[in-house]
Amino acid sequence: MIRLFVNVDHVATLRQARGTVEPDPLAAALLAERAGADGITVHLREDRRHIQDRDVDRIRKGIKTQLNLEMAAVEEMVRIALDTKPEQVSLVPEKRQEITTEGGLNVRSQKEHLLGIADRLKPVGIRFSLFVDPDLEQIEAARQIGADSVEINTGIYTETKEPEALQRELDKIRAAARHGAGLGLRVFAGHGLTRENVVAIAAIPEIEELNIGHSLIARAVYSGLEKSVKDMLQAMEQGARMRKT
């Protein structure tokens, strides 16, 4: 069966908006595991806009499944990964001004740099993955530097509405998945996936694993808000009954 890794970044986004202690990304990760998630993904950004260093450590120690640490290909993050030892590191491109990750990693232009990171992570048992566009040359380059897997960027597919263009993007992803698997790479996918658009991606036989976050957290707001309001009303009623008459 295809695996689901749940990204809990935006639980931390909500927490950081108020600078408080809740909602807690670890609590969310444990709920995701309880619901059947095969693993947890967090992206520790250089600007620490959501996930914090302490979150990575707590989630690594607290979950029962596996941790996939997304990070930029920079020395600071490599040191954190070596200290934390997640089961997998996924290198992604990162721009400070972007809202979310825009496009895949250009592996071809930085082979030596990425190979140097792989040579530090893999000997200590950390699997090495690269987030790439559905581009055959980038996937070839990932294999050449010894990546264990590639995560195919589904962003353009998820943003495309016109049927013919959508089919072209889906065909690119299918071809990239076949090519990656043919080279001996494990093939994952993610970015912008929702309950509605995930079906066609999950149907691609070479794709073993999906990383999904924002859509899950957004849906959770709706599905859990009614109960949250009811619980608050019950607590208020309990307090009201304690008022002195």
> Do 83 and 110 form a contact (C-beta atoms < 8 A)?
no
Kindly name the residue from 43, 50, 94, 209 that is annotated as catalytic: 43
Active site residue 191: yes
Radius of gyration of the chain (CA): 20
Give dist(CA 39, CA 111) in Å, integer: 28
Give dist(CA 28, CA 9) in Å, integer: 10
Cα–Cα distances (Å) from 72 to 105, 132, 142, in that order, read 10, 13, 16
Give dist(CA 83, CA 89) in Å, integer: 12
Alpha carbon 107 to chain centroid, angstroms: 19
Kindly name the residue from 70, 94, 151, 209 that is annotated as catalytic: 70
Active site residue 75: no
User: Exposed, middle or buried by CB within 10 Å (0-12, 13-18, 19+), for 211?
Assistant: buried
Active site residue 179: no
Torsion of CA 3, 211, 65, 76, to 10 degrees: 150
DSSP secondary structure letter of residue 124 = G
**Facing residues of 39 across strands?**
5
Give dist(CA 114, CA 97) in Å, integer: 23
Kindly name the residue from 10, 50, 179, 191 that is annotated as catalytic: 191
Please enumerate in sequence order all residues whose Cβ is within 8 A of that of 101, keeping only pairs 6 or more positions apart, or say none: 43, 92, 93, 94, 131, 155, 191
Residues labelled as active-site residues: 43, 70, 191
